[in-house]
Amino acid sequence: MLKEALKLHTTNFINILKDFLSGVKVENSGEKRLLDAISYSLINSNAKYIRSFLVIETAKMLGFNTTEDVKKLAIATEMIHCYSLIHDDLPAMDNSNFRRGVDACHIKFGESTAIMAGNAIQVMAFDVLSSISKPEIALKLIKEMANVCGLKGILGGQVIDLSPKLKEEEFDEMNYKKTGVLIEFCLNSVAILFETKEHVSNLKMYGKNLGIAYQMQDDILDEGESEYSYINHFKTRDLLKKSLKERLKTCEEAIVGFNFNFTLLDLLKFLEKRTY
């Protein structure tokens, strides 16, 4: 059931993204080339769009509708994720030729355009956040997102991932920063948007543990391709699976008290077994 809900979300969200991009006016061939690279990377029916799903479903769990502001928050999370993937695939980073079943952005458009498309999507996300209806809330979200992207977030995680030697104790920190911090933001930002401070710690607990569990599953699916894979961190695959289960259990405990928690609970079962 969750699988169907996620598929439906992918279709709906692609339309939301297309709508957004159709509002970006290009005035010369350079702008067109960048926008083509952005659209190519952002819109792909093989993407799961799990981060925007989390934003929308968290709002529902807290009893709120999918307002324009919720949609903007969701768009911003997918933009930041997409930028991080474009740069992650570059030759200087993971050097991956494929992304989401097609050529990576730098293979399709060349390295320089891919670097700039990544930069452009990142700043686009901040522009989207700045248009959230209440300026003081928009500012809080921009600040929070800046932390997600920076030294204490995605870039802090990626720099550890690309470092020549990884200390055992840096493992969870690396994965939390490169993947978990943005996923945590998908939950926590909804509490900021609706000014419901009392839920922040539970939402963060779900988001943080889900983020790490998500990267554990990603490493299982990548079959230990990278040296710093969770598969190499745990002595056996069973121990990794056990730790993954524990993380998901913590997520469950974090949201068990919410009235409309059905989808986010269901998501935990789905993610434990995800194959893509």
**Contact set with ligand IPE (CB under 6 A):** 47-48, 50, 81, 84-85, 88, 94, 96, 100, 154, 158, 178-179, 214-215, 218, 222
Residue type, 81: H
Residue type, 43: I
In the complex, least distance from residue 135 CB atom to ligand IPE, rounded to whole angstroms: 29
Write out the DSSP string of 13-50.
Answer: HHHHHHHHHHT----SHHHHHHHHHHHHHH--TT---H
Residue 59 or 85: which CB sits closer to ligand IPE? 85
d(CA 235, CA 67): 46
In the complex, least distance from residue 106 CB atom to Mg ion, rounded to whole angstroms: 13
* Total residues at interface with Mg ion (CB under 5 A): 4
Please choose which of Mg ion, ligand IPE, none residue 41 contacts, taking the beta carbon within 5 to 8 angstroms, the exact cut-off set by kind: none
Closest CB to ligand IPE belongs to which residue? Answer: 48
Reduce the DSSP state of residue 62 to 3 states and report it.
Answer: coil
CB 154 within 8 A of CB 101: no
In the complex, least distance from residue 129 CB atom to ligand IPE, rounded to whole angstroms: 19
In the complex, least distance from residue 123 CB atom to Mg ion, rounded to whole angstroms: 22
CB 271 within 8 A of CB 248: yes
Residue 48 or 245: which CB sits closer to ligand IPE? 48
The two structure tokens encoding residue 275: 């194959």
231 binds Mg ion (CB under 5 A): no
Q: Which helix (H) or strand (E) holds 98?
A: strand 98-99
In the complex, least distance from residue 234 CB atom to Mg ion, rounded to whole angstroms: 16
CB 263 within 8 A of CB 206: no
Residue 26 or 159: which CB sits closer to Mg ion? 159
Reduce the DSSP state of residue 268 to 3 states and report it.
Answer: helix
Tell me the window of 88-96, 118-126, 168-176, 204-212 that interacts with Mg ion (CB under 5 A). Answer: 88-96
CB 231 within 8 A of CB 171: no
57 binds Mg ion (CB under 5 A): no
170 binds Mg ion (CB under 5 A): no
Binding-site ranges for Mg ion (CB under 5 A): 88, 94, 218, 222
